[in-house]
Amino acid sequence: MIEPIDLHAFADGELNSVDRTELQAKLDASPDAVRELESIRNLKALLKRQAQEVETRESWKHCVGRLDEIDKARRVESVVGRFAPALCGLFLFTILVGGLVARRHGETSGPKEYVSRLLPFRSSSESKQDKDEAEWLTHLFNQVRQSRIHTFHVLKVNGYIADGIPVTRMSLRDDKGDLLVLLLPKSVDFGELTPMAGHPEYTSGQYGQTNCVARSNGASTTVLLADRPFDELADAMTDIPDSFVTITSHRPVK
Amino acid sequence: MLFGKRDMRESFERQAEKIFPSVLGTALRLTRSREDAEDLAQEAIVRAYDAFERFDGTNFKAWMLRIVTNLYINKYRQRQRGPQFGSLEEEGAIEPVSSEYELPDRLLFDHVVGAEIEDALGRVPEDFRMAVILSDIEGLSYQEIADATSVPIGTVRSRLARGRSMLRRSLETYAIKEGYIKKDAVE
């Protein structure tokens, strides 16, 4: 007795050599099984021979198009993926450097701009100011005249607000010429001014063509500008008492 | 790395183009719809390309047809429409392929042409049809068919025997209907 399933396996070449030999022996004694085997083989041959060819050209083109899209996406992913750490690093580095540059730039140029804002010399007497401020300036003027800075002749005292800071401006004159004094009731670190040789408590530099020396005591800042050497400005600075700055800090501000 | 990818693309495309008629043909015989077949074939190509790095390099055609078959089973089978013979019990008795009425194969097979065979094949229930297509048209081994259809080899053997038997009956019915052979020739 031959199992039909074995005949199919025989026709398909899926029997091992032992089973194949055994089945072959059985086939010799079974004409019906031989006929069945022949029919299986004929059907297999028919299918192989007559199965219709399928037109694939257009469909294959679409497939190639899809593969191109995948490759394109992979290339983008690959570039982004490969350089992602570098891009992130570069981005962070740019932010960091930008920040440092901005900070550095801010340190050098910010105060310079700040100085420029301090120097419009817009007289309070010329601009609108309230009665309190006018009185205070008169008081200040009298204080200055009565102070110990006998070496100076006080030409004018006025005040204005620069960048939210009340600035008191005094025009002084001594035997070497005119000076301009700016008094600020807070400590300001001017980036464009550098520590002065021989006078570590002072910073010096130039504003435009004018030499400038500044002194900050933590609570107030005095800036001295004049067309004279730094050493002479430093000497002049010593003649401006701290109490003088203290007076300016009491300026009424609205 | 980029060159490696380019080589991979070329290698894949060269092999895939060669066996694409089998991919699309199998897809067409499974779905029996040109549109679905093209979608299935393209999706199989894309999936295969994605997984090409994992291809073991043994039999590309069998690997591709496995993808096609799995995709069809998982995605397209539910969408299939049209008349079916109805599923047959896997464990039932296997009918012989040869005609019990001793209708010579020559009388039947000499008359049928490709389109008629495709039509008859389309009327074989899909599990059996799948086994016949993969074995007799595409030449896959039992093990490869078992891998492609995720069934044991014993089931593959059974489905093949039944599928061929059903195909033969379908061809006979078709030949009688079309008048290629007279009904009394089989009675």
Domains of chain A: 4-50 (no CATH), 131-249 (3.30.200.100)
pLDDT in tens, A98-146: 888 877 665 544 444 455 555 544 444 444 556 666 677 777 767 666 6
Asked if the Cβ–Cβ distance from A56 to B20 is below 8 Å, we say yes
Q: Enumerate the β-bridge partners of residue A180.
A: A171, A225
- Asked, for residue B87, whether it belongs to a domain, the answer is no
Q: Which of A8, A35, A49 to mutate to test the interface with B (most CBs of B within 10 A)?
A: A8
The whole-number pLDDT of residue A1 equals 77
Short-list B145, B26, B122, CA closest to A12: B145
Gap from B182 CA to chain A (nearest CA, Å): 20
The whole-number pLDDT of residue B41 equals 95
**pLDDT beyond 90 at B70:** yes
Most confident range, picked from A44-53, A105-114, B118-127, B148-157: B148-157
Tokens of B181: 């052979």
The whole-number pLDDT of residue A50 equals 80
Q: Do β-strands A165-174 and A194-196 pair in parallel, antiparallel, or remain unpaired?
A: unpaired
Q: Distance (Å, rounded) from C-alpha A106 to C-alpha A86? A: 29
Residue of B nearest to A66 (CA): B46
A115-129, A200-214, B53-67: range with lowest mean pLDDT: A115-129
- Asked, for residue B95, whether it belongs to a domain, the answer is no
Task: Please tell me if residue A150 touches chain B, with a CB cutoff of 8 Å.
Answer: no
Is the separation of the CB atoms in B142 and B153 below 8 Å?
Answer: yes
pLDDT in tens, B17-47: 999 999 999 999 999 889 999 999 999 999 9
B49, B98, B135: residue with CB nearest A36: B98
- Asked, for residue B93, whether it belongs to a domain, the answer is no
Q: Return the CATH number at B63.
A: 1.10.1740.10
Q: What is the three-class DSSP state of A239?
A: coil
- Report the domain count for chain B: 2
Question: Once rounded to an integer, what is the mean pLDDT over residues A33-60?
Answer: 88
Asked if the Cβ–Cβ distance from B164 to A38 is below 8 Å, we say no
* CA quadruple B130, B132, B138, B141: dihedral, nearest 10: 100
Domain enclosing residue B150, as ranges = 105-185
Asked if the Cβ–Cβ distance from A12 to B142 is below 8 Å, we say yes
The whole-number pLDDT of residue A82 equals 74
